[in-house]
């Protein structure tokens, strides 16, 4: 695949690496491809990062036909750039695309676009500890048309954002509110897809949880409002009596790549991992009986995020004395060590650019 490159001749000043936050800054270029019925996905190109010009009737503004991914590029100790499990993200984008009736993309073509884009904007990959370059591939429906049907034109883009730690506090235990009213997803819906509507649907619960003094919500299933699903935009894990539990992949939760890495590492360490449904009631009973040893959330943005408190039905269940658990810490340390190339990658997760 030949990628047409138009260089940005007015590069921006780079932000202070110690104060990046998350998702605030974007690099000098972006990767773009277009889709139409005749040509399929075509015209792969790298352009100066800049505004999209879209008809106000563009379907994405009205009917939310959009998908995205999120992964990170890291600067390793040798100064080189490496990607973590990028192929898994690109395959998941296609799973999301299929659910949302968006034409799938060639995984190799997407990878090549991401690679060339990152190499071109390589100076933007930060090197301060804990920083990385967040990579955001996404697809939007662009037909200038009002009416509910799959679009026939799309844009695929990749934009890059140098980021710091996702949570300001770093690896600090979070306060999580168990959401019993609002629902994020249900079987037969789009919960397993990374599509805008799932996130838009989650905002209200998140805002209300923040107002109550919690960082995020724990989602329960949409059917019975009792089975534990996810924490905000991360997967949820619970260490109970030495075993580690997480919700099974049954269509309503995202198949998190950090979830998968976590399970792989835990098993590698000889821990038993149980992917089974668990009710919030059961979890609370384990807590009461002193069996809930650790709880943590997993996701690309924050990697591992220990859960210190679960707010449920007016009570705060404090987990592990509101301290970072041993397994949470070890997962964080191991995963980030692999991501930053500080230890050998036994699992084939890392691709050096």
Ligand X SMILES: Cc1ncc(COP(=O)(O)O)c(C=O)c1O
Which stretches of the chain bind its own copies, using CB under 8 A? 22-24, 26, 30, 49-58, 60-66, 68, 70, 99-101, 134, 136, 138, 140, 144-150, 157, 159, 161, 181-184, 186-190, 195-204, 206-207, 222-225, 232-233
256 makes contact with ligand X (CB under 6 A): yes
Distance of closest approach, residue 344 Cβ to its own copies, in angstroms: 31
277 binds, among its own copies, ligand X, none (CB under 5 to 8 A by kind): none
Pick from 188, 247, 198: nearest CA to 220? 247
Distance of closest approach, residue 237 Cβ to ligand X, in angstroms: 12
d(CA 339, CA 132): 10
Coil vs helix vs strand at 293 = strand
Residue entry with tokens 């805008």: 196
> Of residues 257, 280, 307, 309, which one binds ligand X by CB under 6 A?
257
What Å distances lie between residue 252 and 90, 94, 138, 238, 261, CA to CA? 20, 17, 21, 19, 20
299 makes contact with ligand X (CB under 6 A): yes
d(CA 114, CA 116): 6
Q: Which is nearer to ligand X, 46 or 263 (CB)?
A: 263
Residue 194 contacts by C-beta under 8 Å, 6 or more apart in sequence?
A: 67, 68, 69, 70, 92, 93, 96, 254
Length of the chain: 353
Residue 271 contacts by C-beta under 8 Å, 6 or more apart in sequence?
A: 242, 243, 244, 327
234 binds, among ligand X, its own copies, none (CB under 5 to 8 A by kind): ligand X
d(CA 70, CA 114): 12
Q: Which is nearer to ligand X, 298 or 334 (CB)?
A: 298
The CA radius of gyration of the chain, in Å to the nearest whole number, is 21
122 binds, among its own copies, ligand X, none (CB under 5 to 8 A by kind): none
> Of residues 30, 60, 70, 84, which one binds ligand X by CB under 6 A?
70
Distance of closest approach, residue 60 Cβ to ligand X, in angstroms: 17
Q: Which is nearer to ligand X, 35 or 238 (CB)?
A: 238
Distance of closest approach, residue 256 Cβ to ligand X, in angstroms: 3
143 makes contact with ligand X (CB under 6 A): no
d(CA 351, CA 339): 10
299 binds, among its own copies, ligand X, none (CB under 5 to 8 A by kind): ligand X
Burial class (CB in 10 A: 0-12, 13-18, 19+), 1: exposed
Distance of closest approach, residue 65 Cβ to its own copies, in angstroms: 5
Residues in touch with ligand X (CB under 6 A): 70, 194, 230, 233-235, 254, 256-259, 298-300
């Amino acid at each position: 695949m030949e990628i047409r490159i138009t260089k940005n001749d007015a590069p921006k000043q780079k932000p202070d690496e110690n104060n990046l936050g998350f998702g605030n800054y974007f690099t000098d270029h972006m990767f773009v491809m277009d889709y139409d019925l005749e040509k399929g996905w075509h015209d792969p190109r790298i352009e100066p990062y800049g505004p999209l010009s879209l008809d106000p009737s563009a379907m994405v503004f009205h009917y939310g036909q959009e998908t995205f991914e999120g992964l990170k590029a890291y600067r390793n100790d040798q100064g080189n750039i490496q990607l973590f499990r990028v192929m898994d993200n690109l395959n998941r984008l296609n799973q999301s695309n299929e659910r949302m009736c968006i034409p799938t993309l060639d995984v190799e073509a997407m990878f090549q676009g991401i690679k060339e884009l990152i190499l071109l904007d390589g100076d933007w990959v930060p090197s301060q500890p804990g920083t990385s370059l967040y990579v955001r591939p996404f697809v939007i429906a662009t037909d200038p048309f009002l009416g509910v049907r799959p679009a026939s034109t799309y844009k695929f883009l990749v934009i890059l954002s140098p980021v710091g730690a996702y949570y300001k506090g770093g690896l600090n235990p979070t306060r999580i509110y168990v959401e019993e009213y609002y629902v994020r997803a249900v079987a037969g819906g789009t919960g397993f897809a990374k599509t805008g509507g799932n996130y838009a649907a989650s905002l209200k619960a998140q805002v209300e949880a923040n107002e109550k003094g919690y960082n995020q919500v724990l989602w329960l299933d949409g059917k019975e409002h009792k089975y534990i699903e996810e924490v905000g935009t991360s997967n949820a894990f619970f260490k109970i009596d030495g075993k580690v539990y997480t919700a099974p992949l049954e269509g309503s939760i995202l198949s998190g790549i950090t979830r998968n890495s976590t399970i792989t590492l835990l098993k590698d360490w000889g821990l038993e991992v149980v992917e089974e449904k668990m009710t919030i009631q059961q979890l609370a009973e384990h807590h009461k009986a002193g069996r809930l040893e650790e709880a943590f959330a997993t996701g690309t943005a924050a990697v591992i995020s220990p859960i210190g408190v679960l707010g449920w039905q007016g009570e705060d269940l404090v987990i592990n004395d509101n301290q970072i658990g041993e397994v949470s810490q070890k997962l964080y340390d191991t995963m980030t060590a692999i991501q930053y190339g500080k230890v050998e990658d036994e699992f084939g997760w890392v691709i050096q650019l």
